[in-house]
Amino acid sequence: MVTIRVTDRAGQEKAVDGQEGLSIMEVIRENGFDDLLALCGGCCSCATCHVHVAPEYLSLLPPMSDDESDLLDSSDHRIDGSRLSCQLRCTASLDGLRVTIAPED
Protein backbone atom coordinates (compact mmCIF):
# COMPACT_ATOMS: atom_id res chain seq x y z
CA MET A 1 0.00 0.00 0.00
CA VAL A 2 0.99 3.57 -0.70
CA THR A 3 0.19 6.41 1.69
CA ILE A 4 -1.31 9.54 0.14
CA ARG A 5 -1.91 12.66 2.25
CA VAL A 6 -5.02 14.43 0.97
CA THR A 7 -6.19 17.88 2.02
CA ASP A 8 -9.85 18.59 1.28
CA ARG A 9 -11.40 21.95 0.41
CA ALA A 10 -12.08 22.65 4.08
CA GLY A 11 -8.36 22.37 4.81
CA GLN A 12 -8.57 19.02 6.63
CA GLU A 13 -5.69 16.65 5.88
CA LYS A 14 -6.11 12.89 6.04
CA ALA A 15 -3.59 10.14 5.28
CA VAL A 16 -5.12 7.35 3.19
CA ASP A 17 -3.79 4.08 1.82
CA GLY A 18 -3.90 3.43 -1.90
CA GLN A 19 -3.38 0.26 -3.85
CA GLU A 20 -0.59 0.40 -6.40
CA GLY A 21 -1.90 0.67 -9.95
CA LEU A 22 -5.03 2.65 -9.09
CA SER A 23 -5.23 6.27 -10.11
CA ILE A 24 -4.80 8.89 -7.41
CA MET A 25 -8.37 9.94 -8.28
CA GLU A 26 -9.66 6.46 -7.45
CA VAL A 27 -7.75 6.40 -4.17
CA ILE A 28 -9.16 9.78 -3.15
CA ARG A 29 -12.75 8.91 -4.09
CA GLU A 30 -12.60 5.45 -2.46
CA ASN A 31 -11.55 7.10 0.79
CA GLY A 32 -14.63 9.32 1.06
CA PHE A 33 -13.49 12.68 -0.31
CA ASP A 34 -16.74 13.82 -1.89
CA ASP A 35 -15.42 17.21 -2.99
CA LEU A 36 -13.37 15.51 -5.70
CA LEU A 37 -16.17 15.12 -8.25
CA ALA A 38 -14.38 13.16 -10.98
CA LEU A 39 -17.43 13.45 -13.21
CA CYS A 40 -15.91 11.73 -16.25
CA GLY A 41 -14.76 8.76 -14.21
CA GLY A 42 -11.12 9.14 -15.12
CA CYS A 43 -11.28 9.65 -18.90
CA CYS A 44 -9.31 12.92 -18.85
CA SER A 45 -12.23 14.89 -20.23
CA CYS A 46 -13.59 17.14 -17.47
CA ALA A 47 -10.91 18.40 -15.00
CA THR A 48 -13.16 17.84 -11.97
CA CYS A 49 -10.41 15.73 -10.36
CA HIS A 50 -7.98 18.68 -10.30
CA VAL A 51 -5.49 18.56 -7.43
CA HIS A 52 -2.53 20.66 -6.36
CA VAL A 53 0.52 18.46 -5.81
CA ALA A 54 3.05 19.49 -3.16
CA PRO A 55 6.18 20.90 -4.87
CA GLU A 56 8.54 18.25 -3.49
CA TYR A 57 6.65 15.53 -5.39
CA LEU A 58 6.38 17.18 -8.81
CA SER A 59 9.64 15.71 -10.13
CA LEU A 60 8.36 12.20 -9.34
CA LEU A 61 5.29 12.51 -11.56
CA PRO A 62 5.02 11.43 -15.18
CA PRO A 63 5.02 14.19 -17.79
CA MET A 64 1.72 15.94 -18.38
CA SER A 65 -0.04 15.16 -21.65
CA ASP A 66 -1.29 17.91 -23.96
CA ASP A 67 -4.90 16.85 -23.21
CA GLU A 68 -4.34 17.17 -19.46
CA SER A 69 -2.69 20.57 -19.89
CA ASP A 70 -5.53 21.82 -22.11
CA LEU A 71 -8.13 20.79 -19.52
CA LEU A 72 -6.20 22.45 -16.71
CA ASP A 73 -6.00 25.64 -18.79
CA SER A 74 -9.78 25.94 -18.34
CA SER A 75 -9.37 26.23 -14.55
CA ASP A 76 -9.12 29.52 -12.71
CA HIS A 77 -7.16 27.65 -10.04
CA ARG A 78 -4.29 26.23 -12.12
CA ILE A 79 -0.91 26.55 -10.43
CA ASP A 80 2.53 25.05 -11.11
CA GLY A 81 1.56 21.95 -9.10
CA SER A 82 -1.78 21.39 -10.81
CA ARG A 83 -2.51 17.90 -12.11
CA LEU A 84 -5.56 15.81 -12.90
CA SER A 85 -5.58 13.04 -10.33
CA CYS A 86 -7.04 10.62 -12.90
CA GLN A 87 -3.77 10.87 -14.82
CA LEU A 88 -1.54 9.93 -11.89
CA ARG A 89 -0.99 6.29 -10.90
CA CYS A 90 -0.43 5.17 -7.36
CA THR A 91 3.13 3.78 -7.25
CA ALA A 92 5.63 2.98 -4.51
CA SER A 93 7.73 5.96 -5.60
CA LEU A 94 4.83 8.26 -4.64
CA ASP A 95 4.54 6.95 -1.07
CA GLY A 96 3.83 9.98 1.12
CA LEU A 97 2.48 12.06 -1.78
CA ARG A 98 0.69 15.21 -0.62
CA VAL A 99 -2.16 16.64 -2.66
CA THR A 100 -4.80 19.28 -2.05
CA ILE A 101 -8.14 19.11 -3.82
CA ALA A 102 -8.35 22.25 -5.96
CA PRO A 103 -11.21 24.71 -5.50
CA GLU A 104 -14.22 24.05 -7.70
CA ASP A 105 -14.45 26.11 -10.91
pLDDT tens track for 12-40: 999 999 999 999 999 999 999 999 999 99
Task: Name all domains of the chain by residue range, CATH numbers in brackets.
Answer: 2-101 (3.10.20.30)
Q: Which of 95, 101, 105 is nearest to 83 (CA)?
A: 101
pLDDT tens track for 34-85: 999 999 999 999 999 999 999 999 999 999 999 999 999 999 999 999 999 9
pTM score of the predicted model? 0.96
Percent of the chain with pLDDT over 70: 100
